[in-house]
Amino acid sequence: MRALLPLALLLLAGSAVAQVRHNSNAPIDFSARVIELQDRANRGVLSGDVVVKQADMTLNAGRMTVAYTGQVLDGSPQVSRLDASGGVTVRRPDQTARSSYAVYDLNRRIITMLGAVTLNQGANTVNGGRLTINLDTGRAVIDGSSVGSGGAATTPPDGIVRTPGRVTGTFSVPKR
């Protein structure tokens, strides 16, 4: 079973070239119903249908905290980290990931998603507790650990039993 995990990641990575080319230096555009600027703390809090776009990636959440360094370049504060919660969705070309929480570390160019993670690409789906996406390499790693993992197994409408601490999924096969 362990040998299948790299295969699973390759199937989901699919268009790795497109993922590697994510421009994490591109400007970050945002919209939300409310924004609260906390200049002394070097952060902003966005809430209500938050939408953040950077290059070809879109992040949606109910709430997001934007941390910035305090340095201003060309009139704009330099963002260092985004913390999202409340129905988080990250969309990239040919790939969508959903979770309860997400952290985008702009300095490291890594997105970490936590809690009831689902990663979809075409007909392929992988579920787990934590997903780490390296925007430089396009590598996505999903594992069973999560915030508050534990408890009983659940059986959703698709009939697949999901046990906390395990990675589950479905892979499509080519038509022959």
Q: Report residue 31 CA to chain centroid gap.
A: 18
In the predicted model, is pLDDT for residue 82 greater than 70?
Answer: yes
- Give residue 24's pLDDT: 83
Give the Cα separation of 83 and 115 in Å (integer). 14
- Mean pLDDT over 60-67 rounds to 97
Give the Cα separation of 105 and 82 in Å (integer). 7
Give the Cα separation of 50 and 62 in Å (integer). 6
pLDDT > 90 fraction of the chain, expressed in percent and rounded: 51
Spell out the domains of the chain, with CATH numbers in brackets.
4-170 (2.60.450.10)
- Mean pLDDT over 75-88 rounds to 91
Instruction: Tell me which of 156 and 41 has the higher pLDDT.
Output: 41
In the predicted model, is pLDDT for residue 55 greater than 80?
Answer: yes
**Average pLDDT value over all residues in the chain:** 82
Give the Cα separation of 3 and 64 in Å (integer). 37
Encode pLDDT of 3-36 as tens digits. 334 434 444 444 333 344 688 889 999 999 999 9
Give the Cα separation of 142 and 173 in Å (integer). 21
